[in-house]
Structure 1
Amino acid sequence: SPEETRKYRGTFKELGRESPYRNRSVEENLDLFQRMRAGEFPDGSRVLRAKIDMSSPNLNMRDPVLYRILKATHPRTGDKWCIYPMYDYAHPLEDYYEKITHSVCTLEFEDHRPLYDWVLNALNLPDLPQQIEFARLNLTNTVMSKRKLRRLVEEGYVAGWDDPRMPTIAGLRRRGYTPEAIRNFCERIGVAKTNSVVDIRFLEYCIREDLNIKAPRVMAVLRPLKLVIDNYPEDMVEEMESENNPEDPTAGKRKIPFSRIIYIEREDFHENPPKKYFRLAPGREVRLKNAYII
């Protein structure tokens, strides 16, 4: 039973004990496994365990479970199977059959690597894959857990995996992040063996740095304030020349119309300006970008 398995497994301070069924014959084990496969036993009544070392300091190596009985409908194979492999058994074999050379995992799988290697070596397979662990990428004020992100999607809190609020590649793409900015961010933070949290402002810095040399410049007035230039001809419109990107001379230039009436942001004018206010105010002059001093 699961309770007996836990009891015999031991703890970090106490060595495990061998199961009373550990020394069955090969023929008896094969017969039981075939009956498991045929669906003769109920869920949880039988398991197939690897025979490794019950005194190992690594609890994952104390005769771990390889197969268990689960009579559930599989989304692909239907009811064809009623026994399923455990993750630690399926993982190395899937990597081998899919010709994975390096299986990159997060740090919590480091203690599972001896079992990963044991499964492959026990089968005497050539050209074995290698498991390598590294620290998980964590960002400040950002949910990165796939389980929690999946809940946001399935419960309708976001529009999908590509919702711009999601920290997924698809979400970052819709938010405007370029591949170069993401690669640059990953190269700068590097790969570590210690868990840490990276400030999300560094990711934002990388996208600003990338877009600064690529993105064309445009201007917009969000809260317009009408400004009339009294000494400018009413029927005259000039076309001022402005660079599309001051960081990239090859981006060319564009024409901006200039006339007697223009609109500025409300925050750019103050009737009673405070100290160190350098925008437009009564009796003050400012220079308009690509135009005149008014």
Structure 2
Amino acid sequence: MAEKITMTPNFIQNMIEEDLKNGKYTEGIHTRFPPEPNGYLHIGHAKSICLNFGLAEYNHGLCNLRFDDTNPTKEDTEYVDSIQEDIRWLGFSWGNRKFYASDYFDKLYDFAVTLIKKGLAYVDDLSAEEIKAYRGTLTEPGKESPYRNRSVEENLDLFARMKAGEFADGTKVLRAKIDMASPNLVMRDTVIYRIAHVKHHRTGDKWCIYPMYDFAHPLSDAIEGITHSVCTLEFEEHRPFYDWLLDSLDFDPNTRPRQIEFARLNLTNTVTSKRKLRQLVEEGYVRGWDDPRMPTISGLRRRGYTPAAIRNFCKEIGVAKADSIVDVSMLEHEVRADLNENADRVMAVLHPLKVVITNYPEDKEEWLLADNNPVHGGHRFVPFSRTLYIEQEDFMEEPPKKYFRLKPGGEVRLKHAYIIKCEEVVKDAEGNVVELHCTADLDSKTGGKTAGRKVKGTIHWVAEKTALPAEVRLYDYLIETDENGNVPKDFIAALNKDSLEVIDNAWIEPSVKLTAAGTHYQFLRVGYFVVDPDTTPDHLVFNRVVGLRDSWAKVNK
């Protein structure tokens, strides 16, 4: 499990406390996280996971994992497996309480039969287009189907024959019989069963009719003894049907579930629509669901975001009733704060410039002491030798004022090592700087006679002889949003063509050799990075997690 939950006051917790005060749910609080297994989970689902499992733990209750697998045309066991992995990775456990809506298909069918017997459901022969046309608009009432007043006996017979597979897809549906003049369009005889001769990933070919989500979800909640069915705001207009269904089937008001809606998570520069994310994957705009540019939990994991950072972010943004857009830099701030405490520091050079220390022996190599992390401590040794690599941007021939890095005739300190002075600049035929010749103050390292000598600049480096070659992937936002942070309607046109830069000639100190995928480092003065699963013993691959700058922290000082 994640660390002990502390609950920031919110309106859902207040409602739970009010229910308990009024004597409801005496058996305890029971929530659920109910994903549809039709895609990978994204950062918005992380908010729901943290909320549902957090409410349960805080109130000493239980939280189920339930797959609402009512649409076999879009579902797959791949998604079931990925969802479970994501929840565990975030730090939560459902114990032995993993369920599927398909566990209840027989019961759901019986509930539908009960509604028919009560005169509250009927088999309709209208097509999907006709049903939509008959439904009316927000300003005009709907029109009753010509099949709405079939007898109970005829509806029972037709529904049984639907189940037996006598009818083709789309030829008949079962609808709740409510009110075609209701101001709420959801209540205008909601479709609750449709025909689909499709193999289900769990039930196989047993069924050719499947319950609609709006029908299966509240009844699955009730069957499982859920007390508080927490969902996002788009389901607010569905709540009257949720309650109508439980009323019609005589569930006890003191124990049946209560639906509560909260604002979904909207992030700048981020798409959080499963349909759109699926499009990005299927049309090849990204490498897969776990592409580090994707806002899926698996993509964030591969990018190097940490479970603690995501949980802290979800806690920080809180639970609101109204939709809003959260700046993605707030999430990056939490990632940076976590990695600042937990990631070891190493030196890596992404754009190398060769430096030769001319007064350092050619055959000499020494190992210099370096600190791993200022918070947790620890040390390592880094090798130093005559030929080094530094970052190209750490040298300028004609620097501006207050440039404290290396320049002709200038001095800098090499991190954990010596002070060096640039004596000569070597250029190629095109005039590009390709090599620097420097001298070192060989008494200026730790413990030396001039160790305390001050220079204004300190830069990082790696020794050519022992540095490891690495591929470094620099990720930027996948989506370019408008001035208000909104994702444009044509989000494909808004894709950032520079969202991935691959550097294939980086060098890194040898302490990272054979580290496992998922290991985090701070590359000194560059940013936070993580070892990518593409890494092999002979080919290091790193993803940039976040840079060192923290715009959110600066804004909120």
* 1:190-243 C-alpha deviation (Å, 9 max, x unpaired): 22333333332222222111111111111123403213253x677765544322
Partner of 2:379: 253
Shift of residue 266, structure 1, vs aligned partner = 2.9
Question: Does the 8 A contact of 2:175 with 2:192 survive in 1?
Answer: yes
SS in 2 for 1:13: coil
**1:58, distance to aligned residue in structure 2 (A):** 0.8
Q: Do the aligned residues in 1 keep the contact of 2:197 with 2:209 (CA within 8 Å)? A: no
Match of 2:540 in 1: none
On the 8 A contact 2:309/2:334 being kept in 1, the answer is: yes
Q: 1:65 aligns with which of 191, 197, 205?
A: 191
Query: Given the alignment, which residue of 130, 154, 157 partners 1:28?
Result: 154
Match for residue 276 of structure 1?
402
Question: Does the 8 Å CA contact 1:242/1:256 hold for their aligned counterparts?
Answer: yes
Give the corresponding residue for 2:346.
218
Q: Aligned with 1:131: secondary structure? A: strand
Is the aligned partner of 1:196 residue 2:321? no
Comparing 256-265 with 278-287, which one deviates more in the overlay? 256-265
Listed as ranges, the gaps of 5+ residues in structure 2 are 1-125, 421-557
| Range with bigger deviation, 123-132 or 260-269 | 260-269
SS at match of 1:217: strand
Q: Give the Cα–Cα distance (whole angstroms) in 1 for the partners of residues 384 and 196 of structure 2.
A: 76
Q: Is the CA contact (8 Å cut-off) linking 2:169 and 2:197 kept in structure 1?
A: no
Report the CA distance shift for 1:220/1:5 in structure 2 as closer, same or farther (over 3 A). closer
Distance in 2 between the 1:207 and 1:133 partners?
28
Whole-Å separation in 2 of the counterparts to 1:10 and 1:185: 42
Amino acid at match of 1:225: K
1-structure distance, mates of 2:143, 2:337: 59
In the other structure, the counterpart of 2:290 is: 162
Which of 1 and 2 has higher RCO (CA within 8 Å, sep 6+)? Answer: 2
**Structure 2 equivalent of residue 285 of structure 1:** 411
The total of aligned residue pairs comes to 290
Q: TM-score, normalised by structure 1?
A: 0.83
> CA distance change for structure 1 residues 158 and 98 in 2, over 3 Å: closer, same or farther?
farther
Contact kept in structure 2, 1:216 and 1:251, CA below 8 Å = no
Q: Which amino acid aligns with 1:72?
A: H
Structure 1 residues 276 and 26, CA, compared in 2 at 3 Å: closer, same or farther?
A: same
The residue aligned with 1:171 is 299
Q: Deviations over 1:160-207 (max 9, x none)?
A: 322323221122112211111111121122223333333322222221
Aligned with 1:227 (options 356, 372, 376):
356
**After superposition, where does 1:61-210 map in structure 2 within 5 Å?**
61-68=187-194, 70-76=195-201, 77-126=203-252, 127-210=255-338
Distance 1:213 1:103 in 2: 37
Give me the TM-score of the superposition, normalised by structure 2. Answer: 0.47
Determine if contact 1:227/1:264 at 8 Å carries over to the other structure.
Answer: no
Question: Which residue type is aligned with residue 293 of structure 1?
Answer: I
Amino acid at match of 2:298: A
Measure, in 2, the Cα distance between the counterparts of 1:287 and 1:42: 78
| Counterpart contact for 1:243–1:252, Cα < 8 Å | yes
> Matches of 2:336 and 2:236 in 1, distance apart?
36
What CA distance in whole angstroms lies between the structure 1 residues aligned with 2:146 and 2:396? 87
Paired amino acid for 1:283: G
> Structure 1 residues 237, 124: CA separation in 2 closer, same or farther (over 3 Å shift)?
same
Letter in 2 for 1:31: D
Q: Cα 1:38–1:252, aligned 2, differ >3 Å: closer, same or farther?
A: closer
What secondary structure does 1:35 align onto?
helix
The alignment's C-alpha RMSD in Å is 2.9
